Protein backbone atom coordinates (compact mmCIF):
# COMPACT_ATOMS: atom_id res chain seq x y z
CA UNK A 1 0.00 0.00 0.00
CA UNK A 2 1.51 3.28 -1.05
CA UNK A 3 1.08 6.60 0.71
CA UNK A 4 -1.31 7.63 -2.05
CA UNK A 5 -3.56 4.68 -1.34
CA UNK A 6 -3.59 5.35 2.37
CA UNK A 7 -4.51 9.01 1.92
CA UNK A 8 -7.19 8.10 -0.62
CA UNK A 9 -8.60 5.51 1.76
CA UNK A 10 -8.69 7.95 4.66
CA UNK A 11 -10.39 10.59 2.53
CA UNK A 12 -12.98 8.08 1.40
CA UNK A 13 -13.62 7.06 5.00
CA UNK A 14 -14.10 10.67 6.02
CA UNK A 15 -16.36 11.28 3.04
CA UNK A 16 -18.65 8.34 3.76
CA UNK A 17 -18.73 9.05 7.46
CA UNK A 18 -19.51 12.72 6.91
CA UNK A 19 -22.23 12.06 4.37
CA UNK A 20 -23.93 9.44 6.51
CA UNK A 21 -23.60 11.41 9.74
CA UNK A 22 -25.09 14.45 8.10
CA UNK A 23 -27.78 12.51 6.32
CA UNK A 24 -29.19 11.24 9.61
CA UNK A 25 -30.41 14.62 10.93
CA UNK A 26 -31.86 15.42 7.54
CA UNK A 27 -33.75 12.14 7.50
CA UNK A 28 -34.96 12.71 11.06
CA UNK A 29 -36.06 16.19 10.08
CA UNK A 30 -37.89 14.79 7.11
CA UNK A 31 -39.41 12.07 9.23
CA UNK A 32 -41.01 14.75 11.35
CA UNK A 33 -42.00 17.29 8.79
CA UNK A 34 -42.83 14.68 6.17
CA UNK A 35 -45.06 12.86 8.61
CA UNK A 36 -46.71 16.18 9.44
CA UNK A 37 -47.31 16.89 5.78
CA UNK A 38 -48.77 13.45 5.24
CA UNK A 39 -51.15 14.01 8.12
CA UNK A 40 -52.13 17.52 7.14
CA UNK A 41 -50.15 19.17 9.91
CA UNK A 42 -47.47 21.82 9.83
CA UNK A 43 -44.79 20.03 11.84
CA UNK A 44 -41.84 21.46 13.75
CA UNK A 45 -40.83 24.69 12.02
CA UNK A 46 -39.60 26.94 14.81
CA UNK A 47 -35.93 26.00 15.19
CA UNK A 48 -33.97 27.40 12.28
CA UNK A 49 -35.25 27.79 8.73
CA UNK A 50 -38.05 25.28 8.04
CA UNK A 51 -37.25 23.71 11.41
CA UNK A 52 -34.04 22.31 9.97
CA UNK A 53 -32.16 22.84 13.22
CA UNK A 54 -34.65 20.78 15.21
CA UNK A 55 -32.42 17.65 15.16
CA UNK A 56 -29.53 19.80 16.42
CA UNK A 57 -31.68 20.98 19.29
CA UNK A 58 -32.59 17.36 19.98
CA UNK A 59 -28.95 16.32 20.08
CA UNK A 60 -28.12 19.13 22.51
CA UNK A 61 -31.01 18.05 24.67
CA UNK A 62 -29.86 14.43 24.62
CA UNK A 63 -26.32 15.34 25.58
CA UNK A 64 -27.32 17.44 28.57
CA UNK A 65 -29.84 15.02 29.97
CA UNK A 66 -29.13 12.97 33.05
CA UNK A 67 -27.39 9.71 32.20
CA UNK A 68 -29.58 7.36 34.17
CA UNK A 69 -28.74 3.69 34.70
CA UNK A 70 -31.37 1.43 36.27
CA UNK A 71 -30.21 -0.01 39.57
CA UNK A 72 -30.77 -3.66 38.69
CA UNK A 73 -29.42 -3.43 35.17
CA UNK A 74 -26.47 -5.50 34.10
CA UNK A 75 -24.08 -2.58 33.83
CA UNK A 76 -21.58 -3.85 31.27
CA UNK A 77 -24.05 -5.06 28.67
CA UNK A 78 -26.28 -2.09 29.33
CA UNK A 79 -23.48 0.23 28.28
CA UNK A 80 -22.14 -1.89 25.47
CA UNK A 81 -25.43 -2.41 23.64
CA UNK A 82 -25.88 1.13 22.25
CA UNK A 83 -22.24 1.17 21.15
CA UNK A 84 -22.66 -1.97 19.07
CA UNK A 85 -25.87 -0.54 17.71
CA UNK A 86 -24.12 2.61 16.54
CA UNK A 87 -21.05 0.92 15.08
CA UNK A 88 -22.46 -2.13 13.27
CA UNK A 89 -24.38 -0.38 10.49
CA UNK A 90 -21.43 1.93 9.82
CA UNK A 91 -19.13 -1.02 9.29
CA UNK A 92 -21.51 -2.39 6.70
CA UNK A 93 -21.00 0.70 4.57
CA UNK A 94 -17.41 -0.30 3.92
CA UNK A 95 -18.24 -2.63 1.06
CA UNK A 96 -20.89 -0.56 -0.68
CA UNK A 97 -19.68 1.14 -3.86
CA UNK A 98 -20.98 4.67 -4.28
CA UNK A 99 -19.25 5.50 -7.56
CA UNK A 100 -16.98 3.90 -10.13
CA UNK A 101 -13.54 5.45 -9.70
CA UNK A 102 -11.72 8.75 -9.73
CA UNK A 103 -8.72 9.21 -11.97
CA UNK A 104 -6.07 11.22 -10.18
CA UNK A 105 -2.59 11.55 -11.65
CA UNK A 106 -2.81 8.35 -13.65
CA UNK A 107 -4.03 6.34 -10.70
CA UNK A 108 -7.48 4.96 -10.23
CA UNK A 109 -9.22 5.47 -6.91
CA UNK A 110 -12.26 3.20 -6.67
CA UNK A 111 -15.12 4.95 -4.87
CA UNK A 112 -15.69 2.21 -2.37
CA UNK A 113 -13.94 1.86 0.95
CA UNK A 114 -13.12 -1.81 0.72
CA UNK A 115 -13.36 -3.51 -2.63
CA UNK A 116 -14.12 -7.02 -1.47
CA UNK A 117 -14.81 -10.03 -3.63
CA UNK A 118 -17.29 -11.21 -1.01
CA UNK A 119 -18.72 -7.72 -0.57
CA UNK A 120 -22.32 -8.75 -0.17
CA UNK A 121 -21.46 -11.27 2.53
CA UNK A 122 -19.57 -8.76 4.61
CA UNK A 123 -22.46 -6.29 4.33
CA UNK A 124 -24.86 -8.97 5.48
CA UNK A 125 -22.58 -10.04 8.29
CA UNK A 126 -22.42 -6.54 9.71
CA UNK A 127 -26.12 -6.02 9.13
CA UNK A 128 -26.73 -9.25 11.02
CA UNK A 129 -24.86 -7.80 13.99
CA UNK A 130 -27.75 -5.42 14.50
CA UNK A 131 -29.73 -8.07 16.29
CA UNK A 132 -27.21 -8.18 19.16
CA UNK A 133 -27.71 -4.67 20.56
CA UNK A 134 -31.44 -5.32 20.66
CA UNK A 135 -31.02 -8.55 22.57
CA UNK A 136 -28.36 -7.16 24.87
CA UNK A 137 -30.29 -3.98 25.58
CA UNK A 138 -33.48 -5.87 26.29
CA UNK A 139 -31.80 -8.39 28.52
CA UNK A 140 -29.52 -6.01 30.36
CA UNK A 141 -32.11 -3.40 31.26
CA UNK A 142 -33.96 -5.86 33.50
CA UNK A 143 -37.36 -4.58 32.50
CA UNK A 144 -40.24 -6.70 31.27
CA UNK A 145 -41.07 -4.38 28.39
CA UNK A 146 -37.49 -4.29 27.21
CA UNK A 147 -37.39 -8.05 27.48
CA UNK A 148 -40.48 -8.43 25.32
CA UNK A 149 -39.09 -5.98 22.82
CA UNK A 150 -35.85 -7.91 22.63
CA UNK A 151 -37.61 -11.25 22.23
CA UNK A 152 -39.77 -9.91 19.46
CA UNK A 153 -36.86 -8.14 17.83
CA UNK A 154 -34.59 -11.14 17.73
CA UNK A 155 -37.23 -13.58 16.48
CA UNK A 156 -38.39 -11.10 13.87
CA UNK A 157 -34.92 -10.35 12.58
CA UNK A 158 -33.91 -13.97 12.46
CA UNK A 159 -37.10 -14.94 10.61
CA UNK A 160 -36.85 -12.25 8.00
CA UNK A 161 -33.16 -12.78 7.45
CA UNK A 162 -34.08 -16.08 5.79
CA UNK A 163 -36.40 -14.53 3.25
CA UNK A 164 -33.88 -11.77 2.74
CA UNK A 165 -31.07 -14.22 2.17
CA UNK A 166 -33.05 -16.35 -0.27
CA UNK A 167 -34.14 -13.40 -2.37
CA UNK A 168 -30.52 -12.31 -2.36
CA UNK A 169 -29.32 -15.71 -3.55
CA UNK A 170 -31.61 -15.48 -6.56
CA UNK A 171 -30.00 -12.13 -7.42
CA UNK A 172 -26.55 -13.63 -6.96
CA UNK A 173 -27.48 -16.33 -9.47
CA UNK A 174 -28.42 -13.65 -11.96
CA UNK A 175 -25.34 -11.52 -11.42
CA UNK A 176 -23.03 -14.49 -10.99
CA UNK A 177 -20.83 -12.63 -8.51
CA UNK A 178 -20.58 -11.66 -4.86
CA UNK A 179 -18.72 -8.47 -5.63
CA UNK A 180 -21.01 -5.45 -5.34
CA UNK A 181 -19.09 -3.38 -7.88
CA UNK A 182 -19.42 -6.13 -10.49
CA UNK A 183 -23.14 -6.26 -9.80
CA UNK A 184 -23.42 -2.56 -10.52
CA UNK A 185 -21.38 -2.94 -13.70
CA UNK A 186 -23.74 -5.72 -14.76
CA UNK A 187 -26.73 -3.44 -14.19
CA UNK A 188 -25.14 -0.50 -15.99
CA UNK A 189 -26.45 -1.62 -19.37
CA UNK A 190 -29.64 -1.38 -21.34
CA UNK A 191 -32.24 -4.07 -21.88
CA UNK A 192 -34.27 -4.00 -25.11
CA UNK A 193 -32.47 -0.83 -26.03
CA UNK A 194 -34.18 1.51 -23.58
CA UNK A 195 -34.69 -0.05 -20.13
CA UNK A 196 -31.80 -0.03 -17.68
CA UNK A 197 -30.88 -3.60 -16.81
CA UNK A 198 -31.69 -3.14 -13.13
CA UNK A 199 -32.34 -5.97 -10.72
CA UNK A 200 -35.89 -4.82 -10.10
CA UNK A 201 -36.78 -5.45 -13.74
CA UNK A 202 -34.96 -8.74 -13.89
CA UNK A 203 -36.48 -10.18 -10.74
CA UNK A 204 -39.34 -8.13 -9.33
CA UNK A 205 -40.45 -10.80 -6.87
CA UNK A 206 -37.05 -10.94 -5.24
CA UNK A 207 -37.17 -7.16 -5.03
CA UNK A 208 -40.52 -7.27 -3.24
CA UNK A 209 -39.33 -9.87 -0.76
CA UNK A 210 -36.11 -8.01 -0.16
CA UNK A 211 -37.99 -4.75 0.36
CA UNK A 212 -40.37 -6.25 2.91
CA UNK A 213 -37.53 -8.04 4.64
CA UNK A 214 -35.41 -4.92 5.08
CA UNK A 215 -38.37 -3.14 6.60
CA UNK A 216 -38.49 -5.93 9.14
CA UNK A 217 -34.71 -5.96 9.58
CA UNK A 218 -34.55 -2.25 10.33
CA UNK A 219 -37.54 -2.45 12.68
CA UNK A 220 -39.50 0.11 10.75
CA UNK A 221 -43.22 0.37 10.68
CA UNK A 222 -45.22 -1.70 9.77
CA UNK A 223 -42.80 -4.11 11.47
CA UNK A 224 -41.68 -2.04 14.45
CA UNK A 225 -42.78 -4.62 16.98
CA UNK A 226 -39.53 -4.53 19.00
CA UNK A 227 -40.38 -0.93 19.83
CA UNK A 228 -44.14 -1.12 19.61
CA UNK A 229 -44.68 2.11 21.52
CA UNK A 230 -48.37 1.46 21.96
CA UNK A 231 -47.77 -1.83 23.74
CA UNK A 232 -44.23 -1.90 25.07
CA UNK A 233 -43.53 1.72 26.09
CA UNK A 234 -40.47 1.83 23.84
CA UNK A 235 -39.52 -1.82 23.62
CA UNK A 236 -35.90 -2.75 23.99
CA UNK A 237 -34.71 0.81 24.69
CA UNK A 238 -37.33 1.61 27.33
CA UNK A 239 -34.68 1.96 30.02
CA UNK A 240 -32.30 4.05 27.95
CA UNK A 241 -32.07 7.79 28.16
CA UNK A 242 -29.85 10.69 27.20
CA UNK A 243 -26.92 9.94 24.91
CA UNK A 244 -27.39 6.20 24.97
CA UNK A 245 -30.92 6.53 23.70
CA UNK A 246 -29.66 8.94 21.07
CA UNK A 247 -27.21 6.28 19.93
CA UNK A 248 -30.01 3.76 19.43
CA UNK A 249 -32.07 6.34 17.65
CA UNK A 250 -29.16 7.29 15.47
CA UNK A 251 -28.27 3.67 14.75
CA UNK A 252 -31.78 3.02 13.56
CA UNK A 253 -31.45 5.67 10.90
CA UNK A 254 -27.94 4.66 9.88
CA UNK A 255 -29.21 1.11 9.52
CA UNK A 256 -32.02 2.39 7.32
CA UNK A 257 -29.60 4.30 5.11
CA UNK A 258 -27.38 1.25 4.93
CA UNK A 259 -30.26 -1.04 4.01
CA UNK A 260 -31.41 1.42 1.36
CA UNK A 261 -27.92 1.59 -0.10
CA UNK A 262 -27.81 -2.19 -0.31
CA UNK A 263 -31.23 -2.32 -1.92
CA UNK A 264 -30.22 0.37 -4.42
CA UNK A 265 -27.02 -1.49 -5.23
CA UNK A 266 -28.83 -4.77 -5.77
CA UNK A 267 -32.01 -3.68 -7.49
CA UNK A 268 -31.71 -0.13 -8.79
CA UNK A 269 -28.34 -0.23 -10.45
CA UNK A 270 -26.38 1.22 -7.52
CA UNK A 271 -24.35 4.14 -8.74
CA UNK A 272 -25.09 3.29 -12.39
CA UNK A 273 -26.18 6.42 -14.21
CA UNK A 274 -29.70 6.93 -15.37
CA UNK A 275 -30.02 6.23 -19.10
CA UNK A 276 -29.29 9.41 -21.02
CA UNK A 277 -26.95 10.98 -18.49
CA UNK A 278 -23.96 9.57 -20.38
CA UNK A 279 -24.83 11.90 -23.28
CA UNK A 280 -25.03 14.84 -20.90
CA UNK A 281 -21.58 14.02 -19.55
CA UNK A 282 -20.20 13.66 -23.05
CA UNK A 283 -21.76 17.03 -23.84
CA UNK A 284 -20.14 18.71 -20.84
CA UNK A 285 -16.80 17.12 -21.63
CA UNK A 286 -17.06 18.21 -25.24
CA UNK A 287 -18.04 21.76 -24.35
CA UNK A 288 -15.25 22.19 -21.84
CA UNK A 289 -12.63 20.27 -23.87
CA UNK A 290 -11.90 17.95 -20.97
CA UNK A 291 -9.29 15.23 -20.97
CA UNK A 292 -10.60 11.65 -20.63
CA UNK A 293 -9.32 11.67 -17.07
CA UNK A 294 -11.48 14.64 -16.08
CA UNK A 295 -14.44 13.25 -17.98
CA UNK A 296 -14.17 10.19 -15.79
CA UNK A 297 -14.05 12.37 -12.69
CA UNK A 298 -17.16 14.22 -13.74
CA UNK A 299 -18.84 10.91 -14.46
CA UNK A 300 -17.89 9.74 -10.95
CA UNK A 301 -19.37 12.90 -9.45
CA UNK A 302 -22.60 12.28 -11.33
CA UNK A 303 -22.58 8.69 -10.13
CA UNK A 304 -22.13 9.68 -6.48
CA UNK A 305 -24.90 12.27 -6.78
CA UNK A 306 -27.14 9.73 -8.48
CA UNK A 307 -26.46 7.18 -5.78
CA UNK A 308 -27.30 9.69 -3.05
CA UNK A 309 -30.43 10.65 -4.96
CA UNK A 310 -31.57 7.04 -5.22
CA UNK A 311 -30.92 6.41 -1.55
CA UNK A 312 -32.80 9.61 -0.77
CA UNK A 313 -35.81 8.36 -2.72
CA UNK A 314 -35.65 5.13 -0.79
CA UNK A 315 -35.56 7.03 2.52
CA UNK A 316 -38.59 8.98 1.37
CA UNK A 317 -40.30 5.68 0.74
CA UNK A 318 -39.42 4.53 4.26
CA UNK A 319 -41.05 7.59 5.77
CA UNK A 320 -43.98 7.36 3.42
CA UNK A 321 -44.67 3.75 4.39
CA UNK A 322 -44.23 4.45 8.07
CA UNK A 323 -46.94 7.09 8.07
CA UNK A 324 -49.33 5.06 5.97
CA UNK A 325 -49.55 1.57 7.40
CA UNK A 326 -50.56 0.34 10.84
CA UNK A 327 -48.38 -2.07 12.78
CA UNK A 328 -48.65 -5.83 12.25
CA UNK A 329 -49.68 -8.12 15.05
CA UNK A 330 -46.91 -10.47 16.08
CA UNK A 331 -48.55 -13.66 14.80
CA UNK A 332 -49.34 -11.94 11.51
CA UNK A 333 -45.72 -10.92 11.25
CA UNK A 334 -44.56 -14.48 11.77
CA UNK A 335 -47.17 -15.78 9.33
CA UNK A 336 -46.02 -13.38 6.69
CA UNK A 337 -42.39 -14.22 7.27
CA UNK A 338 -42.58 -17.99 7.44
CA UNK A 339 -45.68 -18.98 5.50
CA UNK A 340 -45.61 -16.46 2.68
CA UNK A 341 -42.25 -14.82 2.14
CA UNK A 342 -40.15 -17.89 2.85
CA UNK A 343 -41.95 -20.25 0.39
CA UNK A 344 -42.29 -17.45 -2.13
CA UNK A 345 -38.58 -16.78 -1.96
CA UNK A 346 -37.83 -20.48 -2.36
CA UNK A 347 -40.08 -20.85 -5.39
CA UNK A 348 -38.66 -17.71 -6.88
CA UNK A 349 -35.15 -18.96 -6.34
CA UNK A 350 -36.00 -22.26 -8.04
CA UNK A 351 -37.61 -20.43 -10.94
CA UNK A 352 -34.63 -18.14 -11.41
CA UNK A 353 -32.24 -21.09 -11.22
CA UNK A 354 -34.24 -23.02 -13.84
CA UNK A 355 -34.40 -20.03 -16.18
CA UNK A 356 -30.69 -19.46 -15.88
CA UNK A 357 -29.96 -23.14 -16.47
CA UNK A 358 -32.30 -23.15 -19.47
CA UNK A 359 -30.63 -20.09 -20.96
CA UNK A 360 -27.33 -21.84 -20.44
CA UNK A 361 -25.98 -18.99 -18.30
Please report whether residue 324 would count as binding another protein according to CB under 8 A: yes
Binding segment for another protein among 36-44, 81-89, 138-146, 283-291 (CB under 8 A)?
A: 36-44
Please report whether residue 26 would count as binding another protein according to CB under 8 A: no
Long-range CB contacts (< 8 A, 24+ apart) of 223-226? 223/156, 223/160, 223/327, 223/328, 223/333, 224/327, 225/149, 225/152, 225/153, 225/156, 225/327, 225/328, 225/330, 225/333, 226/134, 226/149, 226/150, 226/152, 226/153, 226/156
CB 270 within 8 A of CB 97: yes
| Shortest distance (Å) from residue 165 CB to another protein | 22
| Shortest distance (Å) from residue 175 CB to another protein | 26
40 or 276, CB closer to another protein? 40
32 or 237, CB closer to another protein? 32
38 or 59, CB closer to another protein? 38
Please report whether residue 325 would count as binding another protein according to CB under 8 A: yes
CB 210 within 8 A of CB 167: yes
Rule CB under 8 A: choose which of 37, 77, 201, 245 binds another protein.
Answer: 37
Please report whether residue 38 would count as binding another protein according to CB under 8 A: yes
Burial 128-163 (b: 16+ CB within 10 A, else e): bbbbbbbbbbbbbbebebbbbbbbbbbbbbebbbbb
Rule CB under 8 A: choose which of 14, 17, 41, 354 binds another protein.
Answer: 41
| Shortest distance (Å) from residue 39 CB to another protein | 7
| Shortest distance (Å) from residue 254 CB to another protein | 25
Provide the H-helix boundaries in 131-203.
131-140, 144-175, 180-187, 199-202
Give me the residues paired with residue 107 across strands: 104
Rule CB under 8 A: choose which of 52, 321, 334, 353 binds another protein.
Answer: 321
| Shortest distance (Å) from residue 322 CB to another protein | 10
189 or 324, CB closer to another protein? 324
Please report whether residue 30 would count as binding another protein according to CB under 8 A: no
Please report whether residue 42 would count as binding another protein according to CB under 8 A: yes
Please report whether residue 50 would count as binding another protein according to CB under 8 A: no
Distance CA 252, CA 179 (A): 26
CB 206 within 8 A of CB 200: no
Binding site residues, another protein, CB under 8 A: 34, 36-42, 45, 320-321, 323-325
Amino acid sequence: MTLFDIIALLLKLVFVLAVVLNAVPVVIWFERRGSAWMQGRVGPNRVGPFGLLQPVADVIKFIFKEDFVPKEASKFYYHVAPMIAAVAPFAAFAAIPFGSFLAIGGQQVPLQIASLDIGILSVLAFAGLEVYPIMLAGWASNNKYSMFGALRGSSQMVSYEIALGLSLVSMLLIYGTLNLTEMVVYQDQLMFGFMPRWGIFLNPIAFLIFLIAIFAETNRLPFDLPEGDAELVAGYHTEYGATKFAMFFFAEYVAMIMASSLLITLFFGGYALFPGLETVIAGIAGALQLSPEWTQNIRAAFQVAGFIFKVGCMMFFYVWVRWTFPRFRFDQLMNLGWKILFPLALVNLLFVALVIAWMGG
